[in-house]
Structure formats: structure tokens, C-alpha cells
């Protein structure tokens, strides 16, 4: 589990509509090789990377691969592990499965050393995305996005495939995040309780969408001489308008 990479993966999973994300802590040897420089720094930077999207996910953490495998077995999960070895099968149209397993766990390894040998031995299938350049591998979050998007493009019906009990638990978890006062809470109660079903929006894009820029960056840019000059010119009336006023 790489700190910054796994934060980016959380954001990717949430954006693609994945609800369950399981994280496995690095083993002792990996921790010694790649120690965290500062837990405080990782926590604050992690929020910037995820944009707090983790509040909408069901995240479960495991202290070891063995512990994760035990729970995967209890849930009768089929394991697909990403791998670059010759034993891995390409995720291409000619190799597309007829359907996905009913309970599928897609395992993405660390960027430094990939999926662990222990997890690979337990995997029911090893998969990879063919690359056509000189790069041998992709950034962890990029690889995650491409693998998940490939599977969701093939089988879009699996998105939102949750039983009613779990949907209700998620509503109750999300409710405090969506309201800020008792009035809003009362208005949202029929939806939270499930008495009034609300279909998700098909398109979340806004009509007037501006690029998101952090406030500190925006202020710094506005203080740059060339930006201030450009903004100043925008505020000045045109020559024609000045002539009209004089006339």
C-alpha cells in the first residue's frame, strides 16, 4: 500500500462508481524499504489527492495479505490479480469473458513491486493490459483506472449491483455527509429511509463548469504582473463605448 498512490486509487474508484475498496498494509520488509516520511504530511496531502471522496466509499483495511485472503475466501470472492508475467492473460476484446464472476476482487499491486507472490498464488486469474510503447508498466492509479474502465465498459450492468440492505446502509452512512442542518435532514428523510426512491442522475456535468483551481494557486496567479495586466485590460471599456459616451 503506497500512501499517495492508494489515495489516488480511492479517488479513481469513487469516480468510476466502485463502492468497495480493500487496502492491505505493506509488510515489514516493504515498510523498511519505503518508510513514510511523515504521517502528518501523508494525511494532509492525502485529503488533497482524494478530495475527501473516501467518505463515499466502503473502505476496509487489512494488516496482512493472509488476513485479506481469509476474508476473501469467506466471501467466496473470485480473485483477478494484475500481473506482468507471461502467465497473465490480456484484457482485450478477443479474450473477453462471457460474464464477470458474481463476486469479483480485482487486485492491484504496489507500484514498486506489483502484486505480492502470496496474492498471485491465490489468484484465480492473472490479467494485464497490453502496452504498445517503450514503457513496461503504468502508474498505479492509471493502471487501476484503465483496468476498471475496461471491465465496466464490457459489463456496465455490474455498476450499482448491490442488494437492498447494503443500499440502505450506504444511504444511512451518506446522510450526515449530505445535510448541514435539521431542516435539510427532515427533507432528506424519505430518501434516507428508502420510502421514496430517487434515481441517480445520468449526467453530473454542470452547465457552466469552470476549471477547479485551489484558492492559494488562484491568488498567486492573480498577483502575477502579466495576469494583473490582462485582468486590467478586461475591465477597461472599449474605445467605441468611450466615443459613444463623449458624443
Cα angle for residues 24, 49, 160 (degrees, 5° grid): 65
Residue at 215 is within a domain: no
My answer on whether 32 and 81 are in the same domain is yes
> Mean pLDDT across the chain, nearest whole number?
80
My answer on whether 114 and 145 are in the same domain is yes
Q: Which domain holds residue 70?
A: 3-158
My answer on whether 115 and 17 are in the same domain is yes
Cα separation, 230 vs 237, in Å, equals 13
> Does pTM surpass 0.85?
no
My answer on whether 114 and 128 are in the same domain is yes
My answer on whether 154 and 112 are in the same domain is yes
- Enumerate residues 6+ apart whose C-beta is below 8 A from 132: none
My answer on whether 185 and 64 are in the same domain is no
CA distances to 1, 64, 107 from 24, rounded to whole Å, are 6, 6, 10
Check if the beta carbon of residue 81 is closer than 8 Å to that of residue 89: no
pLDDT tens-place string over residues 76-121 = 999 999 999 999 999 999 999 999 999 999 999 988 889 999 999 9
pLDDT tens-place string over residues 154-176 = 999 998 888 888 888 888 888 87
Q: How many structural domains compose the chain?
A: 2
- Percent of the chain, pLDDT > 90? 42
My answer on whether 175 and 73 are in the same domain is no
Amino acid at each position: 500500500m503506497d500512501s499517495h498512490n492508494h489515495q489516488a486509487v480511492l479517488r479513481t474508484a469513487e469516480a468510476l462508481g466502485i463502492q468497495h475498496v480493500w487496502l492491505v498494509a505493506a509488510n515489514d520488509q516493504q515498510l523498511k524499504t519505503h518508510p513514510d516520511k511523515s504521517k502528518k504530511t501523508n494525511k494532509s496531502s492525502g485529503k488533497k489527492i482524494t478530495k475527501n471522496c473516501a467518505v463515499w466509499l466502503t473502505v476496509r483495511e487489512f494488516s496482512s495479505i493472509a488476513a485479506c485472503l481469509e476474508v476473501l475466501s469467506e466471501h467466496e470472492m473470485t480473485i483477478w490479480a494484475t500481473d506482468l508475467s507471461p502467465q497473465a492473460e490480456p484484457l482485450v476484446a478477443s479474450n473477453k469473458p462471457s460474464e464477470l464472476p458474481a463476486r469479483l476482487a480485482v487486485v492491484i499491486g504496489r507500484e514498486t513491486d506489483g502484486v505480492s507472490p502470496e496474492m498471485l498464488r491465490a489468484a484465480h486469474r492473472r490479467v494485464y493490459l497490453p502496452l504498445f510503447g517503450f514503457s513496461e508498466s503504468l502508474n498505479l492509479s492509471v493502471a487501476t483506472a484503465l483496468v476498471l474502465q475496461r471491465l465496466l465498459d464490457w459489463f456496465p450492468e455490474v455498476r450499482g449491483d448491490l442488494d437492498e440492505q447494503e443500499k440502505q446502509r450506504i444511504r444511512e452512512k451518506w446522510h450526515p455527509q449530505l445535510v448541514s442542518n435539521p431542516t435539510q435532514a427532515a427533507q432528506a428523510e424519505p430518501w434516507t429511509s428508502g420510502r421514496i426512491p430517487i434515481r441517480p442522475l445520468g449526467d453530473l456535468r454542470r452547465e457552466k463548469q469552470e476549471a477547479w483551481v485551489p484558492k492559494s494557486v488562484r491568488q498567486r496567479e492573480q498577483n502575477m504582473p502579466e495576469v494583473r495586466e490582462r485582468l486590467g485590460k478586461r475591465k477597461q471599456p472599449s474605445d467605441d463605448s468611450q466615443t459613444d459616451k463623449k458624443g
